[in-house]
Amino acid sequence: MMFGTLPSGERVERFELTSGRLRAAVLSYGAVLQSLEVSGVDVVLGLDTLEDYLTRSRYFGAVVGRYGNRIAGGTFTLDGVTHTLPVNNGPNSLHGGVEGFDRKVWTVADAGDTSVTLTLTSPDGDQGYPGALTASVTYTVDGDALRIDYTAETDAPTVLNLTNHSYFNLAGGGDVLGHELRIGAEHYLPVDDDKIPTGELAPVKGTPFDFTTAHAIGARLDGAYDHCFVLDGSGDMRVVEPVSGLTMEVTTTEPGVQFYAGGMLDGASTPYGPHAGFCLETQHFPDSPNQPEFPSTVLRPGERFTSTTTYRFPA
């Protein structure tokens, strides 16, 4: 169905997906997951109008790219060529730049009752990134699970880090500081004052970053988390809302997850206040193009990027 029209005249569509206890809404603008109802409780932060997404969004529910997370100084060198990106987060380039994938209208490739596939072509030089890139994202609801599948191909060497930037609140309101979180990660990435990884893979044991056993998001650091965790094995995560018992289990093919506790939501520039939602952005590591010891985010012609993340809500 029609959701709105951009000043450019581009139409934005809205798709509803239903299976079992789940009901999701996806927008063609930013490939946004606008809502995700679990037995009638909307567990993601969404906005009501297209104008709100244009002016009041902190990437709510969007697919971010070409490179999710931060690239230090807005520059990286690939095959001996230095590329300059727009900076939009202090000295850094964040989530693909000023006009990243979250600000684009994606093309609808396929839509049905339980899934929708959206595609986007990013031209060579888009936000400073080399290579013409074709990306797709498919949202599928199946029983008690929402699955997000990503693919991408390029005609020239480039870097790529796609993720979904949904904010979750399993209570459907209030703050998330009491939510109990477990992350299957023995290490995390310390960051400098500009939130760029120092390059160290630090043990979580004995630190506020130890979520190997579940504890409340607000129990340590006052919930001031915005860090990448190095996932172990299947990359499993689990969140429980202690009052209702509603549980979300997350698995991913990605090597890391950026856990952000929503501390920079201010209730003024966005409709939501601090800690109204948390993010588990499954992804490769921040600033990987400048840190060759990190898992590579380089995509070359003839290769096909694939990634899958599943959010399951067991009864």
Annotated binding-site ranges for beta-D-galactose: 69-70, 165-167, 226
Q: Which of 115, 151, 119, 108 is nearest to 299 (CA)?
A: 151
CB-based contacts of 233, cutoff 8 Å, min separation 6? 184
- Cα dihedral 308→242→223→40 (10° resolution): 50
From 13, 83, 95, 165, the catalytic residue: 165
Q: Is residue 241 part of a domain?
A: no
Q: Tell me how far apart the alpha carbons of residues 140 and 155 are, in angstroms, rounded to a whole number.
A: 28
Q: Is residue 263 part of a domain?
A: yes
Contact 62, 56 (CB under 8 A): no
Task: Please tell me the predicted confidence (pLDDT) of residue 272.
Answer: 97
β-bridge partners, 89: 92
Query: Structure pTM?
Result: 0.97
Q: Is residue 40 part of a domain?
A: yes
Q: Tell me how far apart the alpha carbons of residues 3 and 14 are, in angstroms, rounded to a whole number.
A: 6
Q: Which of 43, 73, 37, 106 is nearest to 195 (CA)?
A: 73
User: Once rounded to an integer, what is the mean pLDDT over residues 89-98?
Assistant: 97
Residue 222, judged by CB atoms within 10 A of its CB (0-12, 13-18, 19+), counts as: middle
Task: Please tell me the predicted confidence (pLDDT) of residue 267.
Answer: 92
CATH number of the domain encompassing residue 291:
2.70.98.10
Total domains in the fold of the chain: 1
Q: Is residue 16 part of a domain?
A: yes
Task: Please tell me the predicted confidence (pLDDT) of residue 233.
Answer: 79
Q: Is residue 294 part of a domain?
A: yes
CA 253 to chain centroid, in Å, comes to: 14
Where residue 310 falls among pLDDT bands split at 50, 70, 90?
Answer: very high
Q: Is residue 300 part of a domain?
A: yes
Please tell me what DSSP assigns to residue 167. -
Please tell me what DSSP assigns to residue 160. -
From 13, 241, 254, 281, the catalytic residue: 281
Q: Is residue 201 part of a domain?
A: no
Active-site residue 165, yes or no?
yes
Q: Tell me how far apart the alpha carbons of residues 176 and 276 are, in angstroms, rounded to a whole number.
A: 6
- Cα–Cα–Cα angle for 308, 230, 310, nearest 5°? 20
Q: What number of residues does the chain have?
A: 315
239-298 pLDDT per residue, tens: 999 999 999 999 999 999 999 999 999 999 999 999 999 999 999 999 999 999 999 999
Helix (H) or strand (E) holding 50: helix 50-55
17-56 pLDDT per residue, tens: 999 999 999 999 999 999 999 999 999 999 999 999 999 9
- For the chain, the average pLDDT equals 97
User: Once rounded to an integer, what is the mean pLDDT over residues 86-101?
Assistant: 97
Q: Tell me how far apart the alpha carbons of residues 147 and 283 are, in angstroms, rounded to a whole number.
A: 15
Helix (H) or strand (E) holding 6: none
Annotated binding-site ranges: 69-70, 165-167, 226
219-236 pLDDT per residue, tens: 999 999 999 999 997 679
What percentage of the chain has pLDDT greater than the value 90? 98
Residue ranges making up the domain that contains 142: 2-173+250-312
Q: Is residue 259 part of a domain?
A: yes
Q: Which of 21, 53, 30 is nearest to 271 (CA)?
A: 53
